[in-house]
Structure 1
């Protein structure tokens, strides 16, 4: 990770922690740490990073920003967070990235290990636009499910971003692109998937094992195994059946939405009941050609449906979708394609 450094002037580690990076940095390096009990190095300043003045500028900022859900951020830090780029879904590490940009000298560099999710996350949309507007990501390394630190979440990436570099060419291949607040590593496109399709999510029950019933099921659904095996999943879908009665307490307590005595047998989310031929794709898949055409109306939450807009040739579209280099577009993690409704809809795509 430190081998990505191109600048060898002033350096900051904004989340010093136990000194994983600090011990490898030069003697004049500066580290910030909120937890006083971890103050084991004279170079470490014990302060909340969001109290550290932005007048302090650095040529290199390197580290592993803390991964903390917004609702779990301690109140005295939360009240200092600048919300102009974020909302209440934004993880603390995103705020660290935004603040670190302000601490960089012109042509300064960020070298971070973070969850990869920010590339496509709605909560990082404005931050991604800032990253694109103010510089270029020159390196990006997907770590897949590898845990680099004991307490770090999987699906992380190591990346380097350079301020005031607008070359867009990445040394790890591809071009640094941002479309509708989502980051991609590929050629720019004039259109997106959303120009040709309405992308819709599938039905979610919150208790598939209860609703799956070959005997009493009323609806055959496209599911994650349909593309590989061709089978459908028979479900008791959005109607009362006495077979559900033994599970009533469990169904009432599902977290997906509120249920009561009148609706406890309903599903948490319905599928888009639009009729006609469409394209399906699993939201998580290792299939090299994951897109396929189907006339089946019902589909569950493991699947996304692409409903064609007027004039779209579905045969040509499915060929183009399966021929797209999704890895360059940053949809591949640990060998799996990861699609969400928003990320797929906004993906660069030309017919």
Structure 2
């Protein structure tokens, strides 16, 4: 096993065991309240129960885990990131950011040297290095710790929260809405499909109940065999359970070996070569690209439903593009307006009347297609 993979597995496992027991399983982020205003000062309570106050819009953000970094990239705020962990190197442009990783966790010295206005800390990092996180906090640097990811809805809420914390509310909301829409469409087209049993496997561990990877699988049209077997969180799975479960599909990160023994060879998944390999950066991180992981699984398990989903998604995107073009070229009364006027009125007002009409017409068409 490669050192990078060992560490990533450790982060996932730590997310579900004793060191993080004091963290909220998933923060109760109210999407509407998060996006009410993007002004500062802004205060929010993190998963440790600490009230974090940001006096000004942070311009220098350090992310201590690749999931937080990926989220910043996806909401269009990568330029504000000044420090990332070594495991975020897969992100385009990450090599131009300071590496704040140290031995067995973040380096306090490197984090402080990046002069951050805000440090984003996923729960796995806090569980591995609570003392270091508190040292950073003791220097007066705002630190926000997230709870454990349990679902794709949690990922959407976390995305909104990061957008609000960093003053990127529009990007956070847009990305979160896209996550929710994708999940909704997948579930819609899969509603009447038979759901075979699936098993997530990575180096002797699996994703049980209350895990975002489990939700990725069920959203993609599988039953989570580990959850049905009574496994909660990220836990080990033995061969006897695998035999009893007899998964029809196995979902694993790219590069992770599938055990080559009698137990696994007896399963329908191995006998029929039903193994779905998913990009580890999409599957293993509670971040926006986990939707891509669900799409990868769905494409293999339910190819016809996936094509229907993709068509609906494309039509929805075309609708959104049409509405955006309408908003850019009309005012609230439907009259043409210049860019300055649109900017001054904010994101909710320009072109509302015309945009609503466009949404209604195209929405009716989309609904008819779905039926």
Shorter-normalised TM-score: what interval? Answer: under 0.3
Larger Rg: 1 or 2?
1
Structure with the bigger percentage of strand: 1
Per the normalisation by structure 1, the TM-score is 0.26
Q: By percentage of residues, which structure has more helix?
A: 2
